[in-house]
Amino acid sequence: MADYNVVVVGAPGAVGQEILKVLEERNFPVGKLRLCATARSAGKEMVFRGESYIVEETTPDSFNGMDIALFAGGAASKEFGPAAVERGAVVIDNSSNFRMDPLVPLVVPEVNPEDVKWHKGIIANPNCSTTQMVVALKPVHDAVKIKRVVVATYQAVSGAGKEAIDELTEQTKAVLEGKEHQPKVFPYQVAFNLIPHIDVFLDMDYTKEEWKMVKETQKILHDDSVTVTATTVRVPVYRSHSEAINIETEEKLTAAEARRLFEKAPGVIVVDDPTGKEYPMPLLSLHRDEVFVGRIREDNSIPKGLNIWVVADQLRKGAATNAVQIAELLIEYGCLKR
């Protein structure tokens, strides 16, 4: 297999670091590697496959000779994504900058891999909460067509970055020691608390995070008839998002039938034994690439409904791993502009 020149933009950040881990773990055929970030992070030293690399400040010329540009998130892709495409690289973007652009594929490899084939130079990674949900929804939708989804998320603080992780740690210590700690990242204390507010409020008093789950799910499934309503909640967990998902389908699907579908679904691990008290939890999914599904049961309030509990490491499958899987698809389908 040929080697491919890869640039990681935002390499020192949490997602950037995970991307490098995943590239190494999956033995991705990296030829030349370039690590980039803002001027503030330039000069840092990072290690990949035992070699040291110095992080460079991102400029349009950072993409010269590169085949794949992995953007870890933030505003960088909006500023430098077009320059990367002009220089022949395919951009895989973890930010929300291009997700709803009709000319940009929004891809989860277990759900809509073929969409990478029609890219115009940029491919978007979905929101982390959407990603793990659609991996679980896909086998159900294929079997009995989903009409409606009601989801409540329980999202780890690491989804808001390193500063949020530090804030949870500092607040927890402060509360246990009886000291004051003023919140900075979140609007309220997150330690020993739940905050039903992620991102800004938009139409109908839903947050931007909630609308992402609505619109992105429909785009990925290629089905605007699937209605989605979401409530997203920040919880005092360091890593891995959890979701309580209620699904209404057009045809009846028993819990046993659903379990068999999940057991065969790519990227899904079923953990579902109520008698043995076995179910997915954030600690179970840490540093794993799979989506864990459990608490599979029929909805007692409607004739054709299911309840499931879904957990995944949002820094892995929700971001870094999904991005690297997209890069693997580009190679498999011969969609790189070499």
Q: Mean pLDDT over residues 307-326, rounded?
A: 98
Q: Residues 169-177: contacts with CB within 8 Å, 24+ apart?
A: 172/236
Q: Mean pLDDT over residues 199-228, rounded?
A: 98
Rounded to a whole number, what is the distance in angstroms from the first to the last CA of the chain? 14
| Rg (alpha carbons) of the chain, rounded to whole number | 20
Spatial distance between the Cα atoms of 333 and 331, rounded to a whole number of angstroms: 6
Query: Binning pLDDT at 50, 70 and 90, where does residue 265 land?
Result: very high
Helices 128-144 and 208-221: angle between axes, nearest 10 degrees:
40
Q: Mapping DSSP to helix (H, G, I), strand (E, B) and coil, where does residue 253 land?
A: coil
What average pLDDT does the structure give for the chain?
97
Q: 105-119, pLDDT tens digit by residue?
A: 999 999 999 999 999
Query: Binning pLDDT at 50, 70 and 90, where does residue 2 land?
Result: confident
Residues 6+ apart with CB under 8 A from 82: none
The candidate with the shortest Cα–Cα distance to 217, out of 268, 153, 293, is 153
Is residue 48 pLDDT above 70, yes or no? yes
Q: Tell me the C-alpha to C-alpha distance, in Å, between residue 158 and each of 53, 64, 91.
A: 25, 32, 24
Residue in the structure block whose two tokens are 């043995």? 276
pTM above 0.75, yes or no: yes
Position 174, amino acid: A
At residue 16, the pLDDT reads: 96
Provide the pairing of β-strand 241-249 with 305-312.
Answer: antiparallel
Catalytic residues: 128, 241
Spatial distance between the Cα atoms of 74 and 76, rounded to a whole number of angstroms: 6
Is residue 166 pLDDT above 80, yes or no? yes
Spatial distance between the Cα atoms of 104 and 119, rounded to a whole number of angstroms: 6
Share of the chain above pLDDT 70, in %: 99
Q: Mean pLDDT over residues 234-255, rounded?
A: 98
Angle ∠(6,10,13) on CA atoms, nearest 5: 125
CB 233 within 8 A of CB 195: yes
Return the DSSP state at 102: T
Residue in the structure block whose two tokens are 């940029």? 122
Residues 6+ apart with CB under 8 A from 169: none
The candidate with the shortest Cα–Cα distance to 28, out of 50, 49, 57, 52, is 49
Is residue 338 pLDDT above 70, yes or no? no
Beta bridge partners of 152: 231, 244
Instruction: Please name each of the domains of the chain with its CATH number.
Output: 4-126+319-332 (3.40.50.720), 130-314 (3.30.360.10)
